[in-house]
Amino acid sequence: MRKKLLLLAVAGVIFCTESPSFSRGYVPGEVIAVFKEDSISASAVDEVGASVKNVYASLSESGEGKFVLLHCEAGKEQELLANLKDRPEVAAASLNYKRKLYASSYMPDDKYSDYLWGMKAIRANELWESGITGNGDVYVAVIDGGIDPNHEDLRGNISNYSRNVVTGRQNYNNDSHGTHIAGTIGAEGNNEAGVAGVNWDVQIISLAVDEEQLSDSAVISAMDYVLELLNQGVNIIAVNISLGGWEEGTPEEMQASNPVYRAMLQVSRTDRTILCVAAGNENQAVGFPAPCDSEPDDDGKYSYLKGDYIYPASYIGIDNMIVVSSANRELARGTEYSSTNYNADIAAPGVYIVSAVPSDYELEFYEEVETGVRNYAAFSGTSMAAPHVTGAVALMKSVYPEAKASQIRKAILDGADRNHCMNDSGAYLYDDGLEHVDADTSENGFLDVYTALRILPNIMATYNVDPKQEEEDSGGGCNVIGGFAVMCMLAPCLFMKQR
């Protein structure tokens, strides 16, 4: 796996080189492993020259092996990894790679509601008009840099279950990226302040990670904590994952021996939570190897090399996962400001999305808005698209609390709009029967929460799935769900860099 670099919103082209300078980003002296047995002997750890730094209790109690973080002498990580892979009692092992965030009609009376084009595009405003605005009994989790708990549009919707998943302490980071995502999911609506989220009433669990600590072990810690809360009966219907990185292993290899994959799979198998994953911002094909090296940054470093895959978006066999690509306002498809990512499950608004940021954030979000704004900003990227889906999932759960995660996921994908192109006034630009969205940005089309909610009752009456059996039946090649298959590969697309 290789380090995912945070990219700015500028257009780019694929650049090839024979000898790229590349920095492998992983935590020194740490390796993640999954042992096949429910317990791990001290002698086995000693034999590979390591010590146990952390045990992920909830994941380990799931019956799929012992999830551990091992410590060794810095510089010995590759040797430890090789020793682990040679041992028959080890089911999966990997370096503790570092990750990066993928930054970049009726309406409520919130101050900047005129800028919420994405809420109109997914038809959330039509549900608001009929009184469907969320429910505080529904929880979502956000794995990110943290959320400002004192923001005027969020303070009523931040859950006490929030914690820093690295330290375990109940503290909050005032991170602009995480706060922006939280605002899209659940900013309080119709309060004459700022913006409105898909849900006006929802409980958001901040699973905070400082960016310098954002690694695979942090993601596994987050999955472990989510599983712990689910076991306690907390109604977490979605986890927003707007982060990721590049690896050289194929999706089949990840499915066989990657600890992060196995952790996400355990959460998916509960059929109580949907993992909403950003597709990534390099405009490469999800599930396909990069056709060439990325363009180097100013330091001559490459975010990925030819043959790498983007993860977690390229994972296969995780049934309750939705991979989200980014679309713009004019054509509901990617631009130079956004990644399109062929083979994503669904497209959602991700260009110039106005949402909450901490008060000390200095970016002004639109030229049309007065200067000096400190609590709101416009970001672009698949990071901004994923929370529209996360919010839609929570809104649907608020109306149908008995719906399973797999049923809501099916409704989201079946209800997607395959011919959605709008102009600035909200009118459709095209009525030619062509599939403008899913032809370029996703397999299923553009998020339409209004239609998804309308068809959910019928899906609940006719569609049931055992996530564990489903994954076994699929053989890992595709997700076979209720008689239809979501194929895992489409053609690559052009390269564009984005926040």
Q: Which CATH class is domain 101-486?
A: alpha beta
Count CB neighbours of 490 within 10 A: 18
* More confident of the two residues 267 and 86: 267
Whether residue 4 is predicted with pLDDT greater than 60 in this model: the reply is no
| Share of residues in the chain with pLDDT > 90 (%) | 49
Rounded distance between C-alpha atoms, residue 177 and residue 19, angstroms: 34
Q: How confident is the model at residue 41 (pLDDT cuts 50, 70, 90)?
A: low
Give the domain 26-97 fold: Alpha-Beta Plaits (3.30.70)
Q: What is the pLDDT of residue 493?
A: 30
Rounded average pLDDT over 172-193? 89
Domain boundaries, the chain: 26-97, 101-486
pLDDT tens figures, 436-475? 444 456 778 889 999 999 999 999 999 887 656 555 554 4
Q: Say if strands 163-164 and 376-379 run parallel, antiparallel, or are unpaired.
A: unpaired
Average pLDDT of span 93-118: 77
Average pLDDT on 265-269 reads: 97
pLDDT in tens, 45-59: 887 888 999 999 999
The band of 273, judged by pLDDT with boundaries at 50, 70 and 90, is very high
Tens of pLDDT, residue by residue over 391-401, are: 999 999 999 99
pLDDT of residue 220 exceeding 90: yes
434, amino acid identity: L
What is the model's pLDDT at position 320? 97
Q: Using one digit for the tens of pLDDT, what is the confidence trace for 336-393?
A: 444 456 678 998 998 888 899 987 776 555 444 554 567 888 888 899 999 999 999 9
Q: Name which residue leads in pLDDT, 490 or 157.
A: 157
Confidence of residue 37 (pLDDT cuts 50, 70, 90): confident
Average pLDDT over residues 256-277: 96
Asked whether the predicted pLDDT for residue 490 surpasses 60, the reply is: no
Q: Whole-model pTM? A: 0.82
Q: What is the pLDDT of residue 470?
A: 54
Mean pLDDT within 253-258:
95
The reported pLDDT for the residue numbered 418 is: 78
Query: Tell me: the pLDDT tens digits for 184-216?
Result: 999 998 887 889 999 999 999 999 987 777 899
What is the rounded distance in angstroms from the CA atom of residue 467 to the CA atom of residue 479? 10
Confidence band, pLDDT 50/70/90 cuts, at residue 34: very high
For 292-339, how does the pLDDT look when each residue is reduced to its tens digit (9 = 90+)?
998 888 888 888 899 999 999 999 999 999 999 888 776 444 444 444
